Amino acid sequence: MTESLMAAQAAGVEHAAVDYWSMLFVFVLATFIGLGVIRRVSRLLYTPLMSLTNAISAIAVVGSIVVTGAEYPTTIRVLGAIALFASMTNIVSGFLITDRMLKMFKKQ
């Protein structure tokens, strides 16, 4: 193994480690933003809030699309397709029912 290759490998490992830290960083920041924003949500709207966050967390759809659509073995893609179906159901029903409920809140 040449020295330059070893250096490149070390750099690669270093790079991967740094990336994980930045992911954790993003997670912590997003959680604090979430706590700050949710704390201000009107108590009247807790039920629609839950269906809305439900639809938003169905962002798992992004991962499911990759697993379903990439050049992977069929069994893997079947699992992906089921996950995609489940996420899509949440997106559709979550946003629709949230809007349906919010329409009902009238001032007078």
Least CB distance to another protein at residue 14 (A): 13
Could you say whether residue 10 binds another protein (CB under 8 A)?
Answer: no
> Which residues 67-96 are close enough to bind another protein by CB under 8 A?
67-73, 75-77, 79-96
Least CB distance to another protein at residue 108 (A): 5
Q: Cα–Cα distances in Å, from 19 out to 12, 13, 23, 63?
A: 11, 10, 6, 18
Cβ-contact 94, 75 below 8 angstroms: no
DSSP letters for 12-39: HHHHHHHHHHHHHHHHHHHHHHHHHHHH
Could you say whether residue 16 binds another protein (CB under 8 A)?
Answer: yes
| # of chain residues touching another protein (CB under 8 A) | 81
Binding mask 33-72 for another protein (x = CB under 8 A): xxx-xxxxxxxxxxxxxxxxxxxxxxxxxxxxxxxxxxxx
Could you say whether residue 99 binds another protein (CB under 8 A)?
Answer: yes
Backbone torsions φ then ψ of 70, nearest 5 degrees: -80, 175
What DSSP character marks residue 70?
A: S
Least CB distance to another protein at residue 5 (A): 16
